[in-house]
Structure 1
Amino acid sequence: MMNQTPIPVVVNGAAGKMGREVVKAVAQAADMTLVGAIDRNPEYNGTDAGELAGLGEPLEVPITDQLEPMLAFAAQERQPGVMVDFTHPSTVYDNIRSAIAYGIRPVVGTTGLSPDQIQDLAEFADKASTGCLIIPNFSIGMVLLQQAAIQASQYFDHVEIIELHHNQKADAPSGTAIQTAQMLTEMGKTYNPAVVEETEKLPGARGGLAEEGIRIHSIRLPGLIAHQEVIFGAAGQIYTLRHDTSDRACYMPGVLLAIRKVLQLKSLVYGLEKIL
């Protein structure tokens, strides 16, 4: 790998908290090179991406708000390029389609895509024979939590999910919580059989109802980063699985792995566990 041409990487959402971590991680990876940094916030237009990320030295990659020209520039590199996207649910679908159209492989951490949008993107990636990774959560610890939840679901019929995030997160519930619920529903059972007719005195008090009877509760507070609990209940016992994030750097090994793996793909893959 060290003797190969470095992987050209474009970071979309480069001025955000996750984007800055990605810029730093890519700049420090020997087999990658940052060729572009995009952010829609006009405050950072023209700012050096390396200095903004706290590297202490410029990378000579100024932040721009022009996505498509940057994708076109990256497409001219000798090695196939990758776009890492940590932007906003309202723009991520169009960002992914644009990247694929230019032959740039998307690695997406932005959540909020609907199942229909993901299916449409999968068909578009298939037609273009272009790899695309959509990863609701890049943490290895979260993958392990989800695997433990799947194992526990064989023995528990009652489960609820609580996800806690900072109050700047735009979508609820989190993509990770939705993915966790989907994994549990794939076990082929219905959860939380009713034992009483419930009445919500406040709408939403029991959380959002996902498939197969699974409830998801979302909390948004300053001071939080990203946290999730999966709580199983049975007569006389509670089994709680919890994952806490204390530093966004914990996601970077997963991001770098995804950048390397997406070059080997010809279609869309959903979930970090699929590439581990």
Structure 2
Amino acid sequence: MGTTGSSPFSVSFEPYLRQGDAARLAGRDLKGLQETLGYRFKDGGLLEEALCHSSFANEHGVALSNERLEFLGDSVLSFLVARILFERHPDATEGELSQMRSALVCGASLCRRAEALSIAEVLLRGRSMRNRDLPPSLCEDALEALIGAVCLDGGVPEAERVVRRLFFGGPDAAGEDGAELDAKSRLQILMQARDLGIPHYEIVSVSGPSHSPRFEVRLRVGNTDRVGVGASHREAEELAAGLVLQDLEVEENETSENEAGVSPP
């Protein structure tokens, strides 16, 4: 299973699983998940609990699901992101810090990080959930549950290290700057600061074979209309957001030059 410690799912509960469910339980790459997460659980049961949706627990008569860990992880994540932003941006106002935190802990941000961890591939869910597209909220909730589980298993310092790794792209060492916010998050913060509302992304087309799709996504902000193309709708959205950011930055620079009486070259 790739974990240590006793798990109610892999040990005592396994004899009651259907053959297909037992095989799926045993075949999940939990070791790979922990490597990507940057944390190895001492108590494998906490990891399994974080990855157990209530639909699976209800279907198999298990009392445990990831809902309690999700509750804890939501609070832990919000606190740690706020603390890291507070440290990294000493000149930011309360409103700016709130906007940055909102951009990092919003559903779209959680979903992107859940995708990077391939949570959908290891999340235990009932058969009814497996017969249709997985709602993004399930993976977002599981990511929060994972952070809650890390906090219980390793304490707040380990949870903070994981949050820095996942949300700030930085090395494990505290205090070292990592990557900036992604384009979608930066655009959302900029639009909120300018009272431009919330970005709205529209899928224009989906083409190509199922194993290699091509998504076109349009993003309109004011007079700016940009289209991003990517292998997933999220990648296309990210590219469209980057193009709009460039346009807005050029517009802002031109406005500043005009106000200063400087003619563009």
Which structure is higher in RCO with an 8 Å CA cutoff and minimum separation 6?
1
TM-score, length of structure 2 as denominator length: 0.26
TM-score, length of structure 1 as denominator length: 0.25
> As a proportion of its length, which structure holds more helix?
2
Bigger radius of gyration, 1 or 2? 2
> As a proportion of its length, which structure holds more strand?
1
